[in-house]
Structure 1
Amino acid sequence: MQISKKSVSLQCVFHSIRFKVNKGWSTAVLLFFYLYFKNNVRKTVSERNIKLKNRFMKRKEYCDRLKSAVLFLVLSFSVIACKNDDPDPVETERQTVFMYMPWSNNLLNAFHKNIDDMEKAILERGLSNEKVLVFLAESPTRATLFEFVYSRSPFYPEQRQRVTRKVLKEYRFSSTPEYTTTAGISSILKDVRSYAEAPRYGMVIGCHGMGWLPVSAKEKTIRSSRQVGKQTIETYKDHWEHTDRPMTRYFGGTTSQYQTEIKTLADAIADAGMKMEYILFDDCYMATIEVAYELRKATGHLIGSTCEIMEHGMPYDIIGKHLLGNVNYRGITEGFYSFYSNYKYPYGTISVTKCSELDDLASIMRDINQRFTFDETLLGTLQKLDGYNPVKFFDCGDYAAKLCKDPALLDQLNRQLQRTVPYKRHTEYYYSMSLPYPPGTEKIHTFSGITISDPSIHPTTITTKTETSWYKATH
């Protein structure tokens, strides 16, 4: 059988076309599967990436929410902590305040009230660089030293702040208490330093007070310039012995056994090596020039009353915050005045003496005493600040004004006196248990903030005043 060339040629063309067609389909199929798998893989990868991304986003969102919650809590506590707290003044040094309350017979209940009031002041203000220690004699032979411990918590708002009392030491004394001696007081001060050592110390002394007058027996031997050549024996009442009237506050108790000399206190502070930033006497008649001069090396400032102070004593719930940290002497005097102006017995005097100025004051007073002699006929015109007869304590500024006849020298003294007693306040009247009662008061006409006994002719002062450091420095 012969096949024509034309037929072969057609077959070749056909096979060629079939091959090309088949090849095209194959390519199309391959391309289809390639694109299908590519899209599915990309979709799968994309979905996986989306899932991973979602998971990451959820994790990131979770972390962001956690951070926000933590930040919210921190800010909340910060707001809570700051909301009711006044900013404390910046303290550069630690401070220890020591409340010293030796046995004082009939003032124990008043002391407990004073301690409670100081606790209120601490609760209101708080403690940062300060410590407050208290020595309290519950009887003539038993005493306790304790510390006010201040704590705060942000977790229990109703108990955020509280003050507790931590007993540090118990004391037992003999029938002649050591706390009336130099060694005994020094030992107590050293205990305070061992428990709460600090660069700055403040001391608050609560008891009865009788200014600079020395401890003596009830029966006195009297010898005055008007009784030359004879001696008499006289028994008289001290101010705290009048029991039928409102009570006031001897440095120590009401009997000589529990009383302390001012020089004893000064020597004890020196022996303990604890010069005070201030001494606050919560006692009667302690703002005297004689007391301040005797203590000028023991303390920087002396805070006290020129007159008798009511049994309530210092209003620690008001002035306590001013005794802590950066001491606010103006705040102390203003707080005292504010309290006693509205008290049921509205009588009170207070002053702050800057002890570093006392030597300059003594120098000027010495010049005055060398040139002038006081005219005793003017004694009745002087501003008295007690209830005794004869008077023991006179206003220092008024006495100087009636002693010195040189206006320039008097002006020099007055300016120095102002520097020595920079802060002072008084009510219109002062009260004394020794004045006729009722009302037991006298009006204050002039007030320099400190008393002097130089012109006194009282039996207890007439000779003993010449033995004071002040008298020796100015005569």
Structure 2
Amino acid sequence: MKNIKILSLLFVCLSIFLSACGGDDTPVPVTVKTVLMYLVGDNDISNDIYNNIASVERGLSEVTSPGTFVIYWDGGSRKGEFPVPTLFKYEVDGKGSVSKREVIKTYSSQNSVSNEVIINVLKDVEAYCPAEKYSLILGSHATGWLPVDHSKSRSFGDDRGAKIHIPDLSVALKQSGIHFDYILFDACLMSQVEVAYELRNAADYLILSPAEVMSAGFPYFKITKYLLSADNSEQNAINVAKDFIDYYKNEYSYSWGTIAVIKTNEISALANITCSIMKRYQDNLVKFDNRKIDYFQAHYGYGRSSLDHSAYDFRAFMRELTDNNIPSDFEEQLERVVIYKNYVDDYKLVNIDSDIYSGIGCYIPDTRYSKWNTYFRTLQWYSAAGWDETGW
């Protein structure tokens, strides 16, 4: 019995010693909020994406709640500073104190828009920076719901030509095991019903643009205090969107920007209402011939150039489909989904109709785009919204 007691005492002392030395099993303190900014910059806008890091650093001193801001950087133009993909962090105490940049982990050269890499990085963030709440910022090229097409579209991301389909991104986020209070897309054309429906279970809110985002991206020096706040996620998401518009309206050299905040737990109800309308007005789909769709592209289209005909204002489509008689239940549910929307278009990239702008786009199948149509049929929105019963 005496020997057992001695062995037990030795075991306890050894455990304390290993813990004090920072062994692998040392618990990592859990913070209130961890934000991951996932930057895929190994492409032609690498310098623009990189500038967001300095913008975040500028904004961290204004954060009023403690938390951790983590950045994953994979970019081709900064090989001297970041020769390989790097995960680093900043700690803030909410009182103006910001830690120096601390490298958490470096990775060998990898495809940062592959499912495996996204999952591994998210798991590393969860292991090294555990928190009560997580948020995600995704920054790179993007083309919304579209399929990965090396000649035209990127879907999301561009890592030396590699991209990821939105359904695959959704799977990666799910397999990471993390649910986010918001996902912010610092990328073009992401506010589409097809994208929002695929990602409805990944986050409570989505902050995204239905049209192109200028290369300067989001004004992180203004919005970081909202991004790291753990209280009132909905209002913080709206504040981010408001400051985005304010920046492009009053500070940026080109006054252009479109933005929306989407509440994901409301989008299934919107799909159900859309499905009932599609069934009721199915015969009206014949109106959307090439001539009508070209008109829509000119007046309500969000894509440009090679992305013409890929996305149109969702409310404009429903108005045309219902003979200018949008059902009130659709209007009410759309407001529950898109809880904030705005735009500034003094510098016009596409036409925005102030009377119809909904902040969210949709695809209208087009006989001239067979590849897009084939891929569209694989998306969850296709059947949820009733397109599968229309003959498309």
What TM-score results when the alignment is normalised by the length of structure 2?
0.79
* Alignment partner, residue 321 of structure 2: 403
Structure 2 vs 1, CA of residues 113 and 262 (structure 1 numbering), >3 Å: closer, same or farther?
same
- Return the offset for 1:302: 0.9
Contact 1:337 1:427 in 2 (8 A): yes
- Return the offset for 1:173: 2.6
* Alignment partner, residue 79 of structure 1: none
Q: Which of 150, 162, 171 does residue 107 from structure 2 map onto?
A: 171
| 1:290-324 deviation per Cα after TM superposition (whole angstroms, max 9, x unaligned) | 00000001111111111010100011111221112
Aligned AA (1:379)? I
Aligned AA (1:113)? N
Q: Which of 229, 232, 238 does residue 330 from structure 1 map onto?
A: 238
* Alignment partner, residue 157 of structure 2: 252
* Alignment partner, residue 19 of structure 2: none
Q: How many residues align?
A: 335
Aligned: 1:117 with 2:44: no
* Alignment partner, residue 264 of structure 1: 168
Contact 2:271 2:384 in 1 (8 A): yes
Where do 1:336-415 residues align within 5 Å?
A: 336-342=244-250, 343-372=252-281, 373-374=284-285, 375-376=287-288, 378-382=292-296, 383-388=300-305, 390-405=308-323, 407=325, 410-415=327-332
Find the aligned partners of 1:430 and 1:97 in 2 and give their Cα distance: 32
Q: Which has the higher helix share?
A: 1
Find the aligned partners of 1:335 and 1:451 in 2 and give their Cα distance: 22
- Return the offset for 1:216: 2.5
Aligned: 1:106 with 2:24: no
Aligned AA (1:314)? F
Contact 1:392 1:458 in 2 (8 A): no
Find the aligned partners of 1:403 and 1:212 in 2 and give their Cα distance: 21
Contact 2:41 2:49 in 1 (8 A): no
Secondary structure of residue in 2 paired with 1:125: coil
Where do 1:139-150 residues align within 5 Å?
A: 139=76, 142-150=84-92
Aligned AA (2:322)? C
Gaps of 5+ in 2: 1-30, 78-82, 387-392
* Alignment partner, residue 447 of structure 1: 357
**Cα RMSD between the aligned structures?**
2.4
Contact 1:323 1:332 in 2 (8 A): yes
Q: Which of 191, 203, 207 does residue 124 from structure 2 map onto?
A: 191
Residue range with higher mean Cα deviation, 376-385 or 462-471:
376-385
- Return the offset for 1:280: 0.3
Contact 1:213 1:461 in 2 (8 A): yes
Find the aligned partners of 1:384 and 1:396 in 2 and give their Cα distance: 10
Contact 1:279 1:303 in 2 (8 A): yes
Find the aligned partners of 2:162 and 2:259 in 1 and give their Cα distance: 25
Aligned AA (1:422)? I
Find the aligned partners of 1:430 and 1:386 in 2 and give their Cα distance: 16
Find the aligned partners of 2:139 and 2:368 in 1 and give their Cα distance: 26
Find the aligned partners of 2:366 and 2:310 in 1 and give their Cα distance: 5
Aligned AA (2:309)? V
Find the aligned partners of 1:385 and 1:406 in 2 and give their Cα distance: 21
Gaps of 5+ in 1: 1-92, 154-159, 219-236, 241-249, 433-440
Contact 2:147 2:372 in 1 (8 A): no
Where do 1:80-99 residues align within 5 Å?
A: 94-99=32-37
Secondary structure of residue in 2 paired with 1:192: helix
Contact 2:167 2:379 in 1 (8 A): no
Secondary structure of residue in 1 paired with 2:372: coil
Contact 1:347 1:430 in 2 (8 A): yes
Find the aligned partners of 1:205 and 1:192 in 2 and give their Cα distance: 14
Structure 2 vs 1, CA of residues 470 and 403 (structure 1 numbering), >3 Å: closer, same or farther?
same
Structure 2 vs 1, CA of residues 313 and 173 (structure 1 numbering), >3 Å: closer, same or farther?
same
Secondary structure of residue in 2 paired with 1:311: coil
Secondary structure of residue in 1 paired with 2:301: coil
Aligned AA (1:165)? R
- Return the offset for 1:393: 0.8
- Return the offset for 1:146: 0.3
Find the aligned partners of 1:123 and 1:285 in 2 and give their Cα distance: 31
Structure 2 vs 1, CA of residues 152 and 210 (structure 1 numbering), >3 Å: closer, same or farther?
closer
* Alignment partner, residue 133 of structure 2: 200
Structure 2 vs 1, CA of residues 431 and 145 (structure 1 numbering), >3 Å: closer, same or farther?
farther
% same residue? 30
Aligned AA (1:251)? F
Aligned: 1:470 with 2:374: no
- Return the offset for 1:380: 4.1
Contact 1:104 1:208 in 2 (8 A): no
Aligned AA (1:316)? Y
Find the aligned partners of 1:161 and 1:323 in 2 and give their Cα distance: 17
Aligned: 1:294 with 2:198: yes
